[in-house]
């Protein structure tokens, strides 16, 4: 993070987040392609469109505070994307892959929610009202995307990922524990 004033830290975080959104515009199509559940694929595709909009909104934020829109490589989101890429390369059942894609997507959303929450607070503190309003609109979309992923996971994708073999293994494990307790 930049040394100096809160304004310097704000610009540094804004540039980091700008780059994170650009990295995600490249990662989300790969996640959508890897998803086997049609609702999950649609969620990733829809969030890609939102993410492209976030880049445009961030350009407006930079303009509203008299700064040039440019990014600074975001190591945090790069790490989350790299983890997601490894998962997509694993030999997983399609349903398990979808559950893992949701987990990776939520990691990215939580990272972004933390960044935008900080940016909104700092923009308000610095008196950048227009920037705060724009950043808060993105934060609301990130929260909604996270909620959508939770809904998909809890609405059936996680249950579908639990295969019959896993159910049998879980049942046998309980039976053995009960037998030892007797």
**Is the pLDDT reported for residue 182 higher than 70?**
no
Please give the pLDDT value at position 91.
86
In a domain, 139, yes or no: yes
**Is the pLDDT reported for residue 93 higher than 80?**
yes
Alpha-carbon gap, residue 82 to 172, rounded angstroms: 36
In a domain, 137, yes or no: yes
Number of domains, the chain: 1
DSSP class of 155: I
In a domain, 123, yes or no: yes
The residue range of the domain holding 14 is 6-181
Place of tokens 């989300």: 28
**Is the pLDDT reported for residue 171 higher than 90?**
no
Helix 94-125 crosses helix 75-89 at what angle (to 10 degrees)? 170
In a domain, 1, yes or no: no
Q: What is the CA radius of gyration of the chain?
A: 20
**CATH code of the domain in which 116 resides:** 1.20.1260.10
Residue 161 structure tokens: 């990922």
Q: Computed from CA positions of residues 48, 142, 90, 155, in that sequence, does the dihedral angle turn out positive or negative?
A: negative
Contact 103, 158 (CB under 8 A): no
Q: How large is the average pLDDT for residues 55-61?
A: 98
176 contacts: CB under 8 Å, gap ≥ 6: none
């Amino acid at each position: 993070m930049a040394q100096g004033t809160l304004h310097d830290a704000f610009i540094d975080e804004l540039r980091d987040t700008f780059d994170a959104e650009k990295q995600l515009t490249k990662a989300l199509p790969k996640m959508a392609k890897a998803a086997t559940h049609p609702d999950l694929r649609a969620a990733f595709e829809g969030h890609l469109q939102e993410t492209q909009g976030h880049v445009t909104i961030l350009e407006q934020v930079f303009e509203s505070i008299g700064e040039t829109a440019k990014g600074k490589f975001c190591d945090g989101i790069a790490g989350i994307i790299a983890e997601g890429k490894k998962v997509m390369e694993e030999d997983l059942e399609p349903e398990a892959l979808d559950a893992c894609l949701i987990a990776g997507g939520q990691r990215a959303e939580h990272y972004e929610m933390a960044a935008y929450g900080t940016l909104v607070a700092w923009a308000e503190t610095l008196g950048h009202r227009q920037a705060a309003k724009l950043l808060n609109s993105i934060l609301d979309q990130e929260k909604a995307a996270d909620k959508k992923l939770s809904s998909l996971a809890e609405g059936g994708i996680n249950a579908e990922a639990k295969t019959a073999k896993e159910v049998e293994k879980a049942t046998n494990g309980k039976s053995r524990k009960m037998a030892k307790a007797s």
